[in-house]
């Protein structure tokens, strides 16, 4: 499923761009993030201990940036191999536009899961990933300080592509989710890690 959305951050574009690339802010924004390291110019490795239901486990995922166009945006992609349980993959295209004294962040995110993860979690993964994103945005907003405003309601479109079935999600919830400010590449890596967590949880039952 592709999810698109945009929102306004009350900070200049340069500052948002900087924050988008600050591993420390990002690390503090991801619950359970133990490690977030730059391994190459445009590559990070994240280690996250995630809790899904009764299961707590550590996962490692790799995230790469491409098409960097500071401060206008970039593309971000991440992939985690879950071995026996399948794979999770995500990507996003992020654009930053000046909006008065703030910044308008527009994004398109897609995620794909495969193997046992898709087989069992196609429906659950979506809702849980959104929840994880919500947690991330809340924390991020708290750290950065300034409240963000949603510029537009997020839209979820369902292309022929990746196997993530849409779950019914109240619009106000999506709004709330996105109103706190977004760190897309972390969002994506969080999604991937979450996917892996879910996959282990369901894979082991």
CA–CA dist 197, 204 (Å, integer):
11
Window 78-117: contact mask with another protein (x via CB under 8 A): ---xxxxxxx------------------------xxxxxx
What is the per-residue binding string for another protein in 132-171, x denoting contact by CB under 8 A? ----------------------------xxxx-x------
Q: Which is nearer to another protein, 7 or 87 (CB)?
A: 87
Least distance (Å) between residue 119 CB and another protein: 3
Torsion of CA 185, 182, 23, 91, to 10 degrees: 0
**Smallest separation, CB 65 to another protein (Å):** 21
The distance of Cα 88 from the centroid of its chain, to the nearest Å, equals 12
Binding to another protein by residue 120, rule CB under 8 A?
yes
Tell me, rounded to whole angstroms, the distance of Cα 29 from its chain centroid. 11
Q: Which is nearer to another protein, 122 or 169 (CB)?
A: 122
Distance in Å, CB of 126 to another protein, minimum: 12
Residue range at the interface with another protein (CB under 8 A); choices 6-14, 20-28, 41-49, 77-85: 77-85
Q: Judged by CB under 8 A, how many residues of this single chain contact another protein? A: 24
Rounded-to-integer distance, Cα 77 and Cα 91, Å: 4
Site for another protein contains 122 (CB under 8 A): yes
Q: Which is nearer to another protein, 145 or 159 (CB)?
A: 159
Q: Which is nearer to another protein, 177 or 192 (CB)?
A: 192
Residue 53 binds another protein, judged by CB under 8 A: no
Among 126, 131, 133, smallest CA distance to 166 is for: 126
Of the pair 21, 110, the CB lying nearest another protein is at 110
Return the bridge partners of 96, or none: 105
Look at the block and give the residue holding tokens 């849980």: 128
Quick one: how far is CA 194 from the chain centroid?
10
CB 110 within 8 A of CB 93: no
Yes or no: say if 58 and 34 are a contact pair by the CB < 8 Å rule: yes
For residue 177, the SS3 value is helix
**Contact footprint for another protein (CB under 8 A):** 81-87, 112-120, 122-123, 160-163, 165, 203
């Amino acid at each position: 499923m592709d999810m698109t959305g945009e929102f306004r951050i009350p900070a200049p574009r340069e500052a948002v761009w900087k924050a988008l690339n600050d591993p420390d802010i990002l690390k503090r924004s991801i619950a359970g993030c133990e490690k977030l390291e730059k391994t190459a110019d445009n590559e990070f490795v994240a280690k996250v201990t995630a809790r899904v239901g009764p299961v707590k486990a550590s996962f490692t995922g790799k995230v790469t940036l491409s098409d960097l166009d500071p401060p206008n945006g970039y593309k971000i992609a991440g992939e985690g191999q879950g071995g026996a349980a399948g794979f999770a993959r995500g990507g996003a295209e992020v654009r930053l536009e000046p909006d008065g004294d703030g910044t308008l962040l527009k994004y398109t995110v897609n995620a794909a899961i495969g193997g046992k993860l898709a087989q069992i979690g196609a429906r659950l993964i979506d809702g849980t990933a959104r929840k994880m994103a919500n947690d991330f945005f809340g924390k991020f907003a708290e750290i950065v300080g300034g409240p963000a405003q949603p510029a537009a309601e997020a839209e979820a479109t369902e292309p022929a592509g990746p196997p993530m079935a849409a779950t019914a999600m109240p619009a106000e919830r999506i709004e709330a989710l996105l109103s706190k400010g977004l760190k897309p590449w972390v969002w994506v890596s969080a999604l991937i890690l979450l996917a892996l967590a879910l996959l282990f949880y369901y894979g082991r039952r």
